[in-house]
Amino acid sequence: MTELAVLVRGMAAGACLVMAGAIGGSTLNRDQKIAGVLANISLSAWVIAESRTTWPTSTGGALAFYPLFIVATSVGGTFWLYLMTVFEDWPVTFVTLTPAIVFTLTGVIGPFLASPRLQFVNGLVRNIPVLILMLHAFVVVARGWRGDLLEARRNARVVILGGAAAYGAFELTLSFVNLMHPLGSIILLTENGPYGGMIIAAFVLTSATLLLQPRFAVFETPRNERVDVRAEMADQAELMKLTAAMTSDIWRREGLTIGQLAREVGMTEHRLRHLINVRLGHRNFAQFLNAHRIEVAKQRLADPANATKTVAEIAFDLGFGSLGPFNRAFREMTGATPTVFRRQALESARSAA
């Protein structure tokens, strides 16, 4: 069993490196490339470093193993960022890279901590945030499934990356409990054990099979390449129905789901996803709704007649449940916060007058 686990881990590590190379040389955007390459390199190192059978026993071997260990410690942050980039279209910034940087620092100082107590604290500093990030990733993956308009990405949420996040949270919980009270043979299911290693390797190899496709369907918005005249006419007729519904300001409804909108326009969810994704170019349902909401928000913020209204009042009136999501969506689409946008727009209006 041990020899088989080492073999499978080696295959998984190799698959990760191939994925990193394929993503780095692809036509994906900057954020997708950075997140994909970092996650797969750190995952490759982690798959090897977390197997006790691969740990060196000599001093020279330990020194050679040290860089691999450092790269492996960043995996919680890089994998979380990968999930956020794939499923939530988050950008790669210093802030989103911070967890990976912090985890890497714990790996740098870890081997030099002589006291077992300090090593235990160092492990907690890394493992507790990793557990929180994995739980957050699992919630995000599950929550966004229905509103995701990319079919390949919807399937990947649960089948691969979502399952990996769930296993990561499960494994970390087992590790914490084992620190307090030995669990016996069940510890073999963690990443250090042969069974856990094989589970991780299976996730990695399955991910490689899905993501190493010529068009990276999980990331890309499909292009409209259909030329069938009847299909074109059917799409146009249903797009007119969708446009009429959005013109009636249905998008103001707080908590509107794609299922509710599909019932309003009289079509299946699958058909509506196709129209919004392929015909209108949106990657998720929230992005589609926000495109309408933010456009109206810009008009209202720039109107001197609304100068006495607070940003929160405008956000709530446009269907946002709280101010935070409104601010993030507005900044993403305009590059400025609502407050800054309003000030600049009103100053321009006064200058023109």
Please give the residue that has the higher pLDDT: either 53 or 144. Answer: 144
> Structure pTM?
0.66
* Mean pLDDT across 207-228: 53
| Average pLDDT for 191-215 | 59
Confidence at residue 252, expressed as pLDDT on a 0 to 100 scale:
83
Domains of the chain, each with CATH number or no CATH: 2-211 (1.20.1070), 229-352 (1.10.10.60)
Average pLDDT over residues 274-298: 87
CB-facing half-sphere around the CA of 262: CA atoms within 13 A = 16
d(CA 68, CA 206): 23
- Whether the pLDDT of residue 97 is over 50: the answer is yes
CA 113/CA 308 separation, integer angstroms: 58
Buried/exposed code over 310-322 (b: 16+ C-beta within 10 A; e: otherwise): ebeebbeebbbee
* Among 22, 16, 12, 11, CA closest to 212: 22
The one-character DSSP state at 276 is I
Residue 57 has pLDDT above 70, yes or no: no
pLDDT above 50 for 215: no
CA gap 183, 187 in Å, rounded: 6
**pLDDT exceeds cutoff 50 at 214:** no
pLDDT digit string, tens, across residues 149-197 = 777 777 777 666 666 666 666 666 766 666 666 655 555 555 555 566 5
Task: State whether residue 148 is helix, strand or coil.
Answer: strand
Instruction: Tell me the helix, strand and coil percentages in the chain, rounded to 5.
Output: 75, 0, 20
- Give me the helix-helix angle, 59-73 and 30-49, nearest 10°: 140
Tell me how far the alpha carbon of residue 103 is from its chain's centroid.
18
Decide which of 120 and 327 is more confident: 327
* CA dihedral of residues 236, 241, 242, 245 (deg, nearest 10): 160
Nearest CA to 261 out of 236, 243, 279, 235 is that of 243
Angle at 260 between CA 256 and CA 261, to 5 degrees: 85
Mean pLDDT of the chain: 77
